[in-house]
Amino acid sequence: MNNKKLITMGEQFGRRSWAEPWKIKMVEPIRITSPQERRDALEKAGYNTFLLHSKDVYIDLLTDSGTGAMSDRQWAGIMLGDEAYAGSRNFFHLEEAVQKYYGYRYLVPTHQGRGAEHLLSQALIKPGQYVPGNMYFTTTRLHQELAGGTFVDVIIDEAHDPPNLHPFKGNVDLDKLEALVKRVGAESIPYISLAGTVNMAGGQPVSMANVKALRALCDRYSIPIYLDATRMVENAFFIQEREEGYKDKTIAAILQEFCSFTDGAWMSAKKDNLVNIGGWLAVNDSDLFDALRNMVVIYEGLHTYGGMAGRDMEALAIGITEAVDDDHVRSRVEQVRYLGNLLTNWEIPIVKPVGGHAIFLDAKSFYPHIPQDQFPAQTLAAGLYLDSGIRGMERGIVSAGRDPKTGDHRYPALELTRLAIPRRVYTQAHMDVVAEAVKAVYDSREQTKGLKMVYEPKYLRFFQARFERAS
């Protein structure tokens, strides 16, 4: 692994530039559709970008989950799959990689992140308990609720304010957390659900100082901390860039230090870990591990594959190693930032500072004339697809769902349309095309009408809901 910082030509000659630390060996053709084709496709999809067929999409920024490009080494690893039902050697490679880079003792493999969320929530949460965290994530909160818990948002207020330039908008507000502990009692809090970076806040990081202080507070009340490590490598990059004392530390060292303040982590390996499918759960407590290892065989598969094929585990073990390479992380975040800078130069409202995995367009500011219950962010995702075949995703009122107690819409402060950048897939030219498309949609914003929801599934409605144009 090469953890030396790359000195770019740009830095050498006083310009700021970067280039990807890889070259392209295989390409996948993509096709731009006609405006009429896009109108037909979007109508068929009920104005929901999740329901589009990917053949009708030009640049696919729906998600950075499972959409990255694997390296030649990962593909070589696929050929080394040991497909034994039990005790596959690929599992032991994976276990070693997680222990080495994340530092936890025990590993439970799962088919993806929500498999791990299910196991952890069922193992730790008792009905009536509260789970504080730094902003909700859709699947995470649902699993906590299905286990009988109530999620409580204890992120700092700045996270809910798109233009606020706080460098660590993912931080936990320790006063909010302590007030909750005092109100409900530490015994009603099974764990803190800490995410680094925070997806729904715009890919915003948590500082090392914050996790250290959180650890001290939790130790006072004997509350464990479990980390959603899905994009923790990107979080480590922001610590290296912004936090005093970390400039000369490697991403790998920062990642390990951060994890050392937590009791375990769950992972959607489809993001940071550079694979198309996979996940894991890792803990330090041996009793909890026994419980999880027993549960995984009910819901995912035997404890040495957890829903993955042997080849998937090998690609994942290699992906973990590649993910912490400093040059890789830097070019990944800088590509997202490149797109953000283009949009910022045109004064298009986005969440700032630009986060690790995506640009989040501030749909409330795009469409101040569309009320939140006419789904401004869903409208914007649809508008961008109609303009150019670019697919983004709603991250606002539709994603927030309904309050399970009252049945009313939740009205989140953030009404965002996310353009997530897959890892190692698109070029700078694609980013230019995306920026121009967003600008075209922004320039015609005043004529845009909102949407009404005509079909709503019970769980995680954003995946399958259908809409029509509001009259």
Residue 81 makes CB contacts below 8 A (sequence gap 6+) with 88, 90, 309, 310, 311, 312, 313, 314
> Residue 239: what are its φ and ψ, rounded to 5°?
-65, -45
- Closest separation between CB of residue 117 and ligand PLI, Å? 6
- Cα separations in angstroms, 106 against 92, 94, 292, 450: 11, 11, 10, 49
Closer residue to ligand PLI, CB minimum distance, 33 or 139: 139
> Residue 422: what are its φ and ψ, rounded to 5°?
-60, 150
Site for ligand PLI in 65-94 (CB under 6 A): 65
**Which of 228, 272, 325, 362 is an active site residue?**
228
Contact between 204 and ligand PLI by CB under 6 A: the answer reads no
Q: Which stretch binds ligand PLI (CB under 6 A): 88-96, 136-144, 218-226, 398-406?
A: 136-144
Structure tokens at 251: 């991403």
Tell me which of 193, 268, 378, 417 binds ligand PLI, using CB under 6 A: 268
Known catalytic membership, residue 395: yes
**Which of 330, 395, 424, 445 is an active site residue?**
395
**Which of 231, 271, 418, 445 is an active site residue?**
271
Known catalytic membership, residue 406: no
Known catalytic membership, residue 220: no
Distance from C-alpha of 274 to C-alpha of 355, rounded to nearest angstrom? 18
Contact between 422 and ligand PLI by CB under 6 A: the answer reads no
Contact between 134 and ligand PLI by CB under 6 A: the answer reads no
Distance from C-alpha of 184 to C-alpha of 107, rounded to nearest angstrom? 32
Tell me which of 68, 190, 279, 310 binds ligand PLI, using CB under 6 A: 279
Contact between 262 and ligand PLI by CB under 6 A: the answer reads no
Residue 100 makes CB contacts below 8 A (sequence gap 6+) with none
Site for ligand PLI in 159-198 (CB under 6 A): 195
Known catalytic membership, residue 228: yes
| Residue 244 burial (C-beta neighbours within 10 Å; 0-12, 13-18, 19+) | exposed
Tell me which of 38, 41, 94, 114 binds ligand PLI, using CB under 6 A: 114
Distance from C-alpha of 390 to C-alpha of 235, rounded to nearest angstrom? 27
Known catalytic membership, residue 64: no
Q: Which of 133, 243, 242 is nearest to 198 (CA)?
A: 133
Closer residue to ligand PLI, CB minimum distance, 213 or 460: 460
Contact between 199 and ligand PLI by CB under 6 A: the answer reads yes
- Alpha-carbon Rg for the chain, nearest whole angstrom, is 22
- Cα separations in angstroms, 430 against 365, 418, 421, 435: 25, 16, 10, 9
Residues 115/300, Cβ–Cβ less than 8 Å: yes
- Closest separation between CB of residue 371 and ligand PLI, Å? 26
Residue pointed to by tokens 């045109």 = 346
Contact between 139 and ligand PLI by CB under 6 A: the answer reads yes
- Closest separation between CB of residue 187 and ligand PLI, Å? 27
Contact between 49 and ligand PLI by CB under 6 A: the answer reads no
Contact between 399 and ligand PLI by CB under 6 A: the answer reads no
Q: Which stretch binds ligand PLI (CB under 6 A): 27-35, 135-143, 339-347, 440-448?
A: 135-143
Distance from C-alpha of 157 to C-alpha of 334, rounded to nearest angstrom? 26
Site residues, ligand PLI (CB under 6 A): 63, 65, 112-114, 137, 139-140, 195, 199, 228, 230, 268, 270, 279
Which residues are known to be catalytic? Answer: 85, 137-138, 228, 271, 395, 462
